[in-house]
Structure 1
Amino acid sequence: MQKSRKKIGIAFGSGGVRGLAHIGALRCLLDNNIPIDYLAGTSVGAWVASLYGLHQDFAQVEMATVGYQKEKMRAMIEPTVKGGLIKGKKIEAFLQQWFGNTIFENTKIPTTVVAADLVSGKEVLFATGPITTAVRASMAIPFIFAPVHYQNMILVDGGIVNPVPDDVVRKMGADVVIAINLDRFTDAEDFSTKKLSLRNVAGRSYFIARHTLAAQSQITADVIIEPHMTSLGFKVWKEYFGKKKLYPLVTAGYKAMNEKIDIIKNLI
């Protein structure tokens, strides 16, 4: 009797432009013929998980994530509104181009997206219903994008409650969970009293908080992937929207996954 293989779940973490590393990590899995049975994602991870889960087309996911900087920049330019700097209607229209009116029930791979409800303070999981709404909510970074009002909830970026949703794919049915954490901790060796500006202190504090939350949320993963991406700040956004494709981030994701690929093969 042939032994049935274990079900594999991938958790794509939050991380803004660093999400380009998800593309490299996914490419590595496909290059090594690792089957993918369940997907979950938060923020940019929600975008990658949903787009791949819907079409199971890597080329499309890569093109949509790495490219289209001009269209994304236009979507970011909207009048300031209450609750966030960017209204989000153009972002929603951009997402609509890729997801249309599809629902999670249409995905080729079962997919779940994580958002956070400001009313209850709890995690909100989208596994059914409109994909565009879910991804828009999961990517609504507080103070930058206006929250999404949906079914008596006020939804924002799921990264504030579950930045690496490995527990989500576990509950979906995955036997082996691979978590991709974009908040790998790095020491700030050059951080000193000479750099105690409001911006530097706030930035470093935010980074530490993100790392700590990410580390706590990935404790149920069997394999943790942490792409090595150093010296990433506001400059990386400028470079991305300046039409630099930033393939080194994609490469970092591929390399990090490749370092664990033998472990993954042994687990399945």
Structure 2
Amino acid sequence: MTTGLVLSGGGIRGVAHIGAIKALEEYGIYPTHIAGTSAGAIVGALYAAGCNWEEMLDFFKSTEIFSLTNYAMGKPGFLDTEKFHDQLKAYISHDTFESLGKQLYVTATNLLDGTLNVFSEGELIKPVLASAAVPGLFAPVEINKGYYVDGGTLNNFPVDLIKKYCDQIVGVYVNPFNHVSIKELNHVNKVLERAYHVMVANETTKKFKDCDILIRPANMDRFGMFTLKNLDIILDLGYNATMNALKNSDLASELLSAAELEAMNGFSMDTSIIGNPQD
């Protein structure tokens, strides 16, 4: 049995993905395939490279996004995306998809022809950075004469990339889309962020039905996409939402019992999960 893990974009809210992974592993569930966009691509790459949840969290805590050294000079963006290469390389020792312990797919949007590209082989770090390069804020990343930005602009929940390879799919979606008042849109950053979510929400929600378990952490609207605070709280929200989803899944409970039986009997078996998507 193969289990797929889909990780949405969402800026710093993507730390909730780390909490979700922590909970899945506590249940003895280890995905074989990962599809990620933007922040989900970063977490997916770190996880597939063998980082544990503490190391993944440390990456986000130690990365100073708005450091003066990261500002772009002569590039179309406030921040030079490729200046984050070495920070990611410190956690990913081998810069190829083939070196990963899990099959990983990440998306990025080619600005030149307006197409969505899927990266799953060859060089790893540049496509991951491109997938997370929010247009306007981060400069596009050049890959093979193409200029790439955030994959979430065209596919923010890439369940379609791994659906055919997996027996079950777990999806983690960390972008809130609740009704807001005009008073909440009191800054240009909030207006831009809201517009971005409106753009991607319609197509994204159609994909929820393709997940056997859908995890949508609550209260994500409390956190801005690039506010580097409360990372432990965001992780806990992802962890708690995932634990609740697993506890409400009959088969997830069976898997936990199977893992205990495996430990006692010393045999190996495949694990997978099926459940009902959360509303």
The DSSP-based 3-state class of the residue aligned with 1:248 is helix
Distance 1:151 1:256, change over 3 A: same
User: Contact (CA 8 Å) 1:76, 1:91: kept in 2 or not?
Assistant: no
Given candidates 233, 245, 248, the residue that maps to 1:248 is 233
Give the unaligned 5+ runs of structure 2: 255-272, 275-279
Give the Å deviation of 1:237. Answer: 3.5
* Partner in structure 2 of residue 183 of structure 1: 175
In structure 1, how many angstroms separate the alpha carbons of the residues matched to 2:176 and 2:73?
32
In structure 2, how many angstroms separate the alpha carbons of the residues matched to 1:53 and 1:195?
37
Give the Å deviation of 1:37. Answer: 1.1
* Identity among equivalent pairs (%): 26
* Partner in structure 2 of residue 136 of structure 1: 129
* Partner in structure 1 of residue 31 of structure 2: 36
Task: Look up the equivalent residue of 2:213 and give its one-letter code.
Answer: V
The DSSP-based 3-state class of the residue aligned with 2:222 is coil
Trace 1:98-113 onto structure 2 (pairs within 5 A). 98-113=91-106
Given candidates 68, 82, 107, the residue that maps to 2:62 is 68
* Partner in structure 2 of residue 13 of structure 1: 8
User: Contact (CA 8 Å) 2:154, 2:200: kept in 1 or not?
Assistant: no
In structure 2, how many angstroms separate the alpha carbons of the residues matched to 1:213 and 1:160?
11
Given candidates 207, 210, 228, the residue that maps to 1:220 is 210
User: Contact (CA 8 Å) 1:75, 1:90: kept in 2 or not?
Assistant: no
User: Contact (CA 8 Å) 2:157, 2:207: kept in 1 or not?
Assistant: yes
Trace 1:73-222 onto structure 2 (pairs within 5 A). 73-74=66-67, 77-171=70-164, 173-188=165-180, 191-192=181-182, 199=188, 201-222=191-212
Give the Å deviation of 1:195. Answer: 6.5
Give the Å deviation of 1:76. Answer: 6.5
CA deviation profile, 1:156-187 (whole Å, cap 9, x unmatched): 1111111111111213x111011111123222
User: Contact (CA 8 Å) 2:7, 2:41: kept in 1 or not?
Assistant: yes
RMSD over aligned CA atoms reads: 2.4
Instruction: Using structure 1 for the length normalisation, give the TM-score.
Output: 0.84
Task: Look up the equivalent residue of 2:48 and give its one-letter code.
Answer: G
User: Contact (CA 8 Å) 2:6, 2:172: kept in 1 or not?
Assistant: yes
Instruction: Using structure 2 for the length normalisation, give the TM-score.
Output: 0.81
User: Contact (CA 8 Å) 2:185, 2:191: kept in 1 or not?
Assistant: yes
In structure 1, how many angstroms separate the alpha carbons of the residues matched to 2:174 and 2:141?
24
In structure 2, how many angstroms separate the alpha carbons of the residues matched to 1:210 and 1:110?
25
Task: Look up the equivalent residue of 1:210 and give its one-letter code.
Answer: V
Distance 1:196 1:179, change over 3 A: closer
Give the unaligned 5+ runs of structure 1: 1-5
The DSSP-based 3-state class of the residue aligned with 1:155 is strand
Give the Å deviation of 1:18. Answer: 0.3
User: Contact (CA 8 Å) 2:78, 2:139: kept in 1 or not?
Assistant: yes
Aligned residues: 252
